[in-house]
Amino acid sequence: MNGPQDLGGQMGFGPVAPEKNEPIFHAEWEKRALGVTLAAGGMGAWNIDESRHARESLRPADYYSSSYYEIWIKALEVLLQRHGFVTTNDLAGGVAVDAAATPKRMLKAENVPAALAKGGPCDRAVEAAPRFKAGDRVRTKNFNPEGHTRLPRYARGKIGIVEVQRGGFVFPDSNAHGAGEAPQHIYTVVFDGREIWGEGADPTLSVSIDAWESYLEPA
């Protein structure tokens, strides 16, 4: 979907001001926000793509006025309600007052190091041969889906060159909505700055994205 997170190339949001020696967390509650989100994900009710889509689906005014971990917590509330783990009454009272769904599993403290070390690999085997190869000229599709997608708006309908084929990976556009992993080949595609940003763009600039195969067509 064209959510509030998709800001590539948009103007009016002010300068990017990186923090020198930025800390991992700016407040103690952010540590807890990360921990609670990971522990809730460990229940196995949703996947990383559904989690990302929940963040992207926040209303723009809410998204833009929230800090990084505030966005995580607001999206987590959506997921927990969607899957029956909390209700609006629970959230309003700050305690569990209604019956809740039983999680498939629980991430216990002693298992956290192993779970974090394992991560969540999304690479998968794909039976079909790659449709494209390095050096191929391709065009990204121009679409505006209602559901989740990892093809940014600024790179839609643009012509680029395949730099490398990365192998097969879970297709987030279907996985986010419970329609299966449907793995596809992924390609790193490089675009000239002018192709992306148009007249007046820095001619020395290039932009690369990792694109799933169904995002691409021969140019």
Is the four-CA dihedral 147, 151, 152, 156 of positive or negative sign?
Answer: negative
Mean pLDDT, the chain, rounded, equals 95
pLDDT at 105 over 90: yes
Q: 144 and 103 in one domain?
A: no
162, part of any domain: yes
Name the residue range of residue 73's domain.
Answer: 28-118
- What is the number of domains present in the chain? 2
Is 132 within the bounds of a domain?
A: no
Q: Does the pLDDT at position 217 exceed 90?
A: yes
The CATH number of the domain holding residue 183 is 2.30.30.50
pTM of the model: 0.91
Angle between helices 28-41 and 48-56 (to 10 degrees): 130
Identify whether residues 149 and 112 lie together within a single domain: no
Question: For the segment 50-65, what is each residue's pLDDT rounded down to a tens digit?
Answer: 999 999 999 999 999 9
User: pLDDT confidence of 126, banded at 50, 70, 90?
Assistant: very high
**How sure is the predictor about 207, in pLDDT bands with cuts at 50, 70 and 90?**
very high
Q: Looking at residue 100, which CATH number applies to its domain?
A: 1.10.472.20
Q: Is residue 1 a part of any domain in this protein?
A: no
